[in-house]
């Protein structure tokens, strides 16, 4: 039997991890697992059911009512409802960062992610893939870019959708979220010792995709 290959991409928010991971998955015929979407789904479930995100016990109790499914066409199902778009709001982004602090949430999702990762050649993106979820991944990438570059990219996306954007506010939100993700007690965002650092500040999406495929083939 051929060995299954796993690629872990970690890094701060808005570094382009999911765009890049999706493209690598498509080119290399890998299964893409968006772990951030799973934390977002937990937050969305709590918000929808009026569960206080700061109440760790209440969030923990809700886990047994949550089923998350990621499909091959990159849709996210929460208890059989397609929530792919609803989990992308600013409110849910903040909520995901909040619920991701809780041990019970992480244990539940890491377990699911490991099971999914056994199904074939996989590429996962998140904050703790190379450090916790798949410490033996075949290739680990730590993808980052300056906070200004990330804010500029996020603003460009928003403007393209017809949404007004203040770059300083977007950059501040990104810096705040990085701080929370890097300083939480459990599984904080950090570069794994054996991860390859890719700073995409001065790279195009295609260049990053090529670089990762090159590293994979090495």
Q: Taking Cα atoms as reference points, which of 30, 41, 22, 23 lies closest to residue 5?
A: 30
- Cβ of residue 18: shortest distance to ligand DC, in angstroms? 7
Judged by CB under 6 A, the residue of 6, 127, 134, 195 near ligand DC is 127
Decide if residue 131 touches ligand DC (CB under 6 A). Answer: no
- Cβ of residue 218: shortest distance to ligand DC, in angstroms? 25
Q: Which is nearer to ligand DC, 90 or 218 (CB)?
A: 90
Q: Which is nearer to ligand DC, 156 or 218 (CB)?
A: 156
Q: Which is nearer to ligand DC, 166 or 176 (CB)?
A: 176
Decide if residue 96 touches ligand DC (CB under 6 A). Answer: yes
- Give the gyration radius of the chain's Cα atoms: 17
Decide if residue 39 touches ligand DC (CB under 6 A). Answer: yes
Q: Which is nearer to ligand DC, 32 or 39 (CB)?
A: 39
Decide if residue 147 touches ligand DC (CB under 6 A). Answer: no
- Give helix then strand counts, H and E, for the chain: 8, 8
For 73, other C-beta atoms within 10 Å of its C-beta total 6
Window of 122-130, 143-151, 160-168, 206-214 that interacts with ligand DC by CB under 6 A: 122-130
- Cβ of residue 199: shortest distance to ligand DC, in angstroms? 18
- Cβ of residue 40: shortest distance to ligand DC, in angstroms? 6
Task: Kindly report the backbone phi and psi dihedral angles of residue 104, in degrees, each rounded to the nearest multiple of 5, phi listed first.
Answer: -65, -40
| Whole-Å CA distances, 108 to 66, 80, 102, 130 | 10, 18, 10, 18
Give the interface size with ligand DC as a residue count (CB under 6 A): 13
Window of 34-42, 47-55, 137-145, 151-159 that interacts with ligand DC by CB under 6 A: 34-42
Report the distance separating Cα 203 and Cα 144, nearest Å: 11
| Whole-Å CA distances, 18 to 8, 9, 78, 127 | 11, 9, 19, 12
Is the Cβ–Cβ distance between 195 and 26 less than 8 Å?
A: no
C-alpha torsion 28→196→36→112, nearest 10: 70
Judged by CB under 6 A, the residue of 13, 147, 149, 200 near ligand DC is 13
Q: Which is nearer to ligand DC, 93 or 121 (CB)?
A: 93
Burial track 83-99 (b if 16+ CB lie within 10 A, e otherwise): bbebbeeeebbbbbbbb
Residues of this chain that interact with ligand DC (CB under 6 A) are: 13, 35-36, 39-40, 96-97, 100, 126-128, 177, 181
């Amino acid at each position: 039997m051929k060995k299954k290959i796993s690629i872990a991409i970690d890094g701060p928010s808005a570094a382009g991890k999911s765009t890049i991971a999706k493209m690598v998955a498509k080119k290399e015929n890998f299964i893409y697992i968006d772990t951030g979407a799973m934390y977002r789904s937990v937050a969305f479930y709590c918000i929808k059911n009026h569960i206080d995100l700061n109440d760790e016990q209440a969030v923990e109790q809700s886990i047994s009512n949550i089923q998350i499914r990621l499909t091959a066409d990159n849709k996210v199902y929460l208890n059989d409802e397609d929530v792919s778009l609803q989990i992308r709001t600013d409110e849910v982004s903040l909520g995901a960062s909040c619920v991701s602090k809780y041990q019970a949430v992480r244990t539940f999702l890491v377990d699911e992610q490991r099971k999914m990762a056994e199904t074939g050649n996989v590429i996962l993106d998140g904050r703790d893939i190379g450090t916790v979820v798949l410490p033996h991944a075949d290739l680990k990438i730590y993808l980052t870019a300056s906070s200004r570059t990330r804010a500029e990219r996020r603003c460009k996306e928003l403007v393209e959708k017809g949404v007004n954007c203040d770059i300083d506010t977007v950059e501040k939100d990104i810096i705040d979220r990085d701080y929370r993700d890097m300083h939480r007690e459990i599984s904080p965002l950090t570069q794994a010792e054996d991860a390859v650092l890719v700073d995409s500040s001065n790279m195009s999406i295609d260049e990053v995709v090529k670089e990762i495929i090159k590293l994979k083939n090495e």
